[in-house]
Amino acid sequence: MNLIARLSERSWEPASDRLDLSHRPSAGAVGLAAYAAVMAVMFSLVMVAYVMRMGLHAAMGHADDWVAMPHPPLLWINSAVLVMSSVAWEVARRAAERGEASRAPLLGGALGLCFLGGQWLLWRHYQAAGYYLASNPANAFFYLLTALHGVHIAGGLVAAAWVLASRTLPHVRLCALYWHLLLLIWMAIAVLLLLT
């Protein structure tokens, strides 16, 4: 039954009598979908703030204070690691759907950890090159976005540890989905950083 039909049910009439439990997705999937909405709102708000803040100083008639950051190769390497991690989780999910044992979750988790390590190196790299947090709004937004994303990756690693311990199909499925979502958010962040 579609949503509009469900929301226009005349529940006071005897004709509305239905006892069937229509098929429901798992609670975990619904919870994750809701959390995906939360993440989407949070990251898009920061990105909107990023764009607003970028042109602001110039729009007020001052000298432009926004100095874009360079894009070192590490940025690309980290992105590639995250893509591979996501692919590993997809492989793990497909294996789990077929009921096969697979080492892919371990690989996915390890690559996630590598990504976090890579991000840490990226921060160190920028620090060494003099791109400090407070020295420019572009830097501040970069650190803020990567930190927020990193915290979510860290949360994903905890979930991955859980999956490695239990290895049940619904858990692998949810973990893979979460990983894809984080990749999507990272791609949005990376595009924003590369374009500006």
Please say whether the beta carbons of 38 and 50 come within 8 A.
no
For the chain, how many residues are written? 196
Q: Of the candidates 2, 27, 70, 73, which one interacts with other proteins according to CB under 8 A?
A: 27
Q: Name the residue nearer to other proteins (CB basis): 89 or 141.
A: 141
158 binds other proteins (CB under 8 A): no
- Verify binding: residue 37, other proteins, rule CB under 8 A: yes
Q: How far is the CB of 133 from other proteins (least distance, A)?
A: 5
> Residue from 68, 83, 107, 140 that binds other proteins (CB under 8 A)?
140
Q: Torsion angle, CA of 75/137/188/44, rounded to 10 degrees?
A: 150
CA torsion, ordered 14, 18, 19, 21, to nearest 10 deg: -160
CA distance 12 to 17: 9
Structure tokens at 48: 């909107």
Q: What residue spans of 60-168 are helical by DSSP H?
A: 73-97, 104-128, 137-166
Question: In the stretch 55-94, what mask flags binding to other proteins with x, by CB under 8 A?
Answer: -xx----x--x-----------------------------
- Candidate list 68, 91, 122, 133; residue touching other proteins; CB under 8 A: 133
Q: Does 101 bind other proteins (CB under 8 A)?
A: no
From 26-34, 74-82, 118-126, 188-196, span contacting other proteins (CB under 8 A): 26-34
Helix (H) or strand (E) holding 185, with range, is helix 169-195
Distance CA 46, CA 164 (A): 33
**Binding span for other proteins by CB under 8 A among 79-87, 96-104, 134-142, 176-184:** 134-142
What's the min distance (Å) between Cβ of 4 and other proteins?
11
Q: Which one among 31, 76, 154, 168 touches other proteins, defined by CB under 8 A? A: 31
CA-to-CA distance for 146 and 144, rounded, in angstroms? 6
**CA dist., res. 66 & res. 48, Å (int):** 15
Q: Which residues here bind other proteins, judged by CB under 8 A?
A: 6-12, 14, 16-19, 21, 24, 27, 30-31, 34-35, 37-38, 41-42, 45-46, 49, 52-53, 56-57, 62, 65, 133-134, 137, 140-141, 144, 148
